[in-house]
Amino acid sequence: MSESTVRYSQRGGARAMKGFLRQFLSYGGAQVGLVCLVFFLVVAPIPNILVGPLQTAINATGDFLAPPSGEHLLGTDEVGRDVLNLVVHGARISLTIALLATVISLIVGTTVGITAGYYGGRVDVWLMRLTDFFFVMPSFVLALVITPVVLEVMGRGGEILGFRPSPFVILVVIGLTSWAFVARIVRSQTLSLKERTFIDRARVAGSSNFSIMVRHILPNLVPQIAANGALVVAGAIYVETSLSFLGLGDPLQPSWGTLLSLAQRAGAASAGAWWYLGAPGVCVLTVSLSFVLIGNALDDTFNPRRRVIP
Amino acid sequence: MPDTADILRLESLQVHFPIQGGLFDHVLGRPAGAVRAVDGIDLNIGRGEIVALVGESGSGKTTVGRVITKLAQPTGGRMLFEGRDMTSVQGSSALRPYRHRVQMIFQDAYQALNPRHTVFDVVAEPLRSLRLVGNASQLTERVSEALASAGLNPPGDFFARFPHELSGGQRQRVVIAGALAVRPGLIVADEPVSMLDVSIRAQILQVLVALRDKHNMALLFITHDLPLAWLIADKIAVLYLGKLVEIGSADDITFNPRHPYTVALRNATPQVGANAGRAELRGLQGEVPSAARVPKGCRFHPRCPLAFDRCKQEEPPAIEVGPQHMSACWLAA
């Protein structure tokens, strides 16, 4: 043990990290995506500090549908709320829903994928038929059906785990409909990993199936899960925006999709209020594009055909 | 149990892999065959004994190793370990006492190490899974001891290293350390040196022999290399197409082989020396037949230079040709 251990671990870990970052950042897309994402991730948690509390019709400060000016950098909406204020607050809601939905999707997808791939046989067949079911089902349509039903049953009031019902339902629905993609990728990787000799060695060492899956297979799946996770986030943002745009969002916690929906209903497009539609629209575009760029760059970085994974 | 008793006993062990018939075979009622990878093997390994299992690729020697380490399930016969029938024991918790006594060394040390585990994790894994240590300091002590026995000194320097930071010989030593960390009674070594440079082979072999001498560990050494088997083993078993054709002491098999296949194997090995030369080198004719279509009679007869009629009809039993020396050949009868 002693000091030599520490020296080696730092050296080995730091070198691997440095190599990964150099490779990853050599992609132009990764740089653009990372800059945009960091910007939004800094803005999202602290809207109150940046633009003050969320404005409502009651504490609105500006004129109706005023174009961008020194006072309101992104103009105002139909009840005089500052659009910048709404967009910054919307970032928090949109990103929270998308990221949590992705976490659900990755957990379910990885669990199903590893189990199906590792056990094979009948377990594999049944789990993959289930996956196929979710795979071919358009997640958007499912979300569209489930959301109003749940809202009807539980009402729009109250809170579930700190969320108001409609964002909560949206995030669960997105999570449950986007895992099939992850499950297929994880399964195919597991199929090839489980034939490797170190799995035999682990079995001879007395490791249980669960421990082999968690300690041997899962760590070797991290590259694929990370790369596809980024793509799942991009999809989640898109679905969240669409559902909110169709009016399934929560007006009291407006996400970017809710804002687009409000703008649409206020006739922003025909009134020429481009700032009202444009601001949340550009945000959605930028964030999902950055996740796609980062996901593709991660995929390229980890791609065994370009780079041999040790 | 007395010290002279065998640690492992294989009784007509059999591993057949069924061949999935196609739709046509089903319709036409054709019987689906089987790949007879291991086709009835009797083998005893004594405590502290080094037994070499020699054969060509495809002879089933690796399958025998996988059955003994419970990575493959036999389809027939029995496997007795220290007198207990282990043939049908399955499941990681039920096998824990057995795993504690039987470990394995793999051919390709690089494939056998998880690229994301450090050397410490690799060697500690069996100790943790088999619940052999009570606390962290005990674990560190056992891991250090195993690494040192495998010749990695000082052990502490290797704890936090990853497999890609090690040389081929060091990786194989890590695999060996992982196997002997639990202080097993039997180690199955599947071609442990075939992937290594010749200069490193001798060192690894010395480590293995030292283990036997120090801890009285038995070793099943699987190899295709007859001279190597003679060098390390007390007893050699020659496997051909899933069946043992000759078994005897290392010296008997090497210098007084009684089965034409063993003779052919020996003649196919290059020798350095005054009366050796290219002319002496005689290869075996033909290929090993598929284990899915084992020849009738003696399974070696299509390639045997001495085959006669009886060989094509009847399969020879193991015939005693000397003390502890058996040969499955009609010529020995």
More confident residue, A73 or B111: B111
CA distance B152 to B142: 14
* Superfamily holding A71-302: MetI-like (1.10.3720.10)
Tokens representing residue B35 in the block:
């790949």
Question: What is the reported pLDDT for B285?
Answer: 72
Buried b (16+ CB within 10 A) or exposed e, A270-305: eeebebbbbbbbebbebbbbbbbbbbbbbbbbbeee
Quickly list DSSP for A32-65.
Answer: HHHHHHHHHHHHTT-HHHHH-SPP-TTT--S-TT
Tokens representing residue A37 in the block:
């994402």
Cβ-contact A160, A168 below 8 angstroms: yes
Min Cα separation B187/chain A (Å): 11
How does pLDDT run across A103-113, given as a tens digit for each residue? 999 999 999 99
- Whether A3 and chain B come into contact, CB under 8 Å, resolves to no
Question: What is the reported pLDDT for A6?
Answer: 39
In Å, how far are A132, B207, B216 from B211, measured between CA atoms?
Answer: 53, 6, 7
CA distance B233 to B49: 8
Question: What is the reported pLDDT for A186?
Answer: 94
Q: What is the ipTM of this complex?
A: 0.87
How does pLDDT run across B24-73, given as a tens digit for each residue? 777 777 666 788 888 889 999 999 899 999 988 888 889 999 999 999 99
Phi, psi torsion values for B217, nearest 5 degrees:
-80, 135
CA distance B32 to B40: 20
- Whether A196 and chain B come into contact, CB under 8 Å, resolves to yes
Question: What is the reported pLDDT for A9?
Answer: 47
| Mean pLDDT of all residues belonging to chain A | 83
Question: What is the reported pLDDT for B3?
Answer: 44
How does pLDDT run across B133-157, given as a tens digit for each residue? 888 899 999 999 999 988 888 988 9
Q: Which long-range contacts (CB under 8 A, 24 or more apart) does A3-7 make?
A: A4/B156, A4/B157, A5/B156, A5/B157, A5/B159, A5/B160, A6/B160
Question: What is the reported pLDDT for A131?
Answer: 93
Dihedral of CA A32/A33/A36/A37: which sign?
negative
Residue B186 neighbours by CB under 8 Å, 6+ apart = B7, B8, B45, B68, B81, B101, B102, B103, B217, B218, B219, B220
Q: With contacts defined as CB-CB under 8 Å, which chain A residues touch B113?
A: 198, 201
Question: What is the reported pLDDT for B120?
Answer: 93
CA distance B190 to A220: 25
Cβ-contact B104, B111 below 8 angstroms: no
Pick from B100, B114, B188 the residue to mutate for testing the A interface (most A CBs within 10 Å).
B114
Among the listed residues B173, B247, B164, the one whose alpha carbon sits nearest the alpha carbon of residue B205? B173
Type of residue found at A141: V
Q: Running DSSP on this structure, what letter comes out for residue A163?
A: B
Tokens representing residue B280 in the block:
């002496």
CA distance B100 to B108: 22
Cβ-contact A294, A30 below 8 angstroms: yes
Q: How many CA atoms lie within 13 A of B161 on its CB side?
A: 16
Percent over 70 (pLDDT), chain A: 89
Position B287 pLDDT exceeds 50: yes
Q: Running DSSP on this structure, what letter comes out for residue B55?
A: -
Position B98 pLDDT exceeds 90: yes
Q: How many CA atoms lie within 13 A of A54 on its CB side?
A: 16
Among A196, A208, A309, the residue with its CB nearest the CB of B92 is A208
Tokens representing residue A197 in the block:
């000799």
DSSP reduced 3-state for A265: helix
Least confident of A53-62, A105-114, B291-300: A53-62
Size of interface A-B (CB pairs under 8 A): 91
CA distance A248 to A240: 9
Question: What helix, strand, coil percent values describe chain B, rounded to 5?
Answer: 35, 20, 40
How does pLDDT run across B177-220, given as a tens digit for each residue? 999 899 999 999 998 888 888 888 888 898 889 888 888 899 99
What average pLDDT does the segment B234-241 reach? Answer: 93
Least confident of A184-193, B140-149, B251-260, B266-275: B266-275
Q: Running DSSP on this structure, what letter comes out for residue B288?
A: P
Tokens representing residue B268 in the block:
């196919």
Beta strands across the sheet bearing B84-85:
B34-46, B6-18, B76-81, B84-85
By CB atoms closer than 10 A (0-12, 13-18, 19+), residue B37 is buried
pTM given for the model: 0.82
- Whether A126 and chain B come into contact, CB under 8 Å, resolves to no
Question: What helix, strand, coil percent values describe chain A, rounded to 5?
Answer: 75, 0, 25
CA distance B199 to B70: 32
Question: How do the domains of chain B map onto residue ranges?
Answer: 6-296
Confidence of residue A5 (pLDDT cuts 50, 70, 90): very low
What average pLDDT does the segment A195-201 reach? Answer: 92
What average pLDDT does the segment A31-50 reach? Answer: 87
Confidence of residue A310 (pLDDT cuts 50, 70, 90): very low
Cβ-contact A202, B125 below 8 angstroms: yes
Question: What is the reported pLDDT for A107?
Answer: 94
Among A200, A206, A220, the residue with its CB nearest the CB of B99 is A206
Chain centre to alpha carbon of residue B144: 27
Ramachandran assignment for B10, one of left (phi > 0), alpha (psi -120 to 50 degrees), beta (any other):
beta
Residue A108's CB is within 10 A of a number of other CB atoms, namely: 18
Cβ-contact A280, A80 below 8 angstroms: no
| Cβ–Cβ below 8 Å for B129 and A200 | no
Residue B115 neighbours by CB under 8 Å, 6+ apart = A220, A309, A310, B162, B163, B164
Comparing alpha-carbon positions, the chain A residue that sits nearest to B125 is: A205
What average pLDDT does the segment A132-144 reach? Answer: 80
In this structure, which topology does domain B6-296 adopt according to CATH?
Rossmann fold (3.40.50)
Min Cα separation B156/chain A (Å): 5
Question: What is the reported pLDDT for A213?
Answer: 93
CA distance A283 to A275: 12
Let me know the angle formed at the C-alpha of B104 by B231 and B216, rounded to the nearest 5 degrees: 60
Q: With contacts defined as CB-CB under 8 Å, which chain B residues touch A204?
A: 69-71, 99, 102-104, 126, 179
Position A32 pLDDT exceeds 50: yes
Let me know the angle formed at the C-alpha of A134 by A132 and A139, rounded to the nearest 5 degrees: 140
Question: How do the domains of chain A map onto residue ranges?
Answer: 71-302
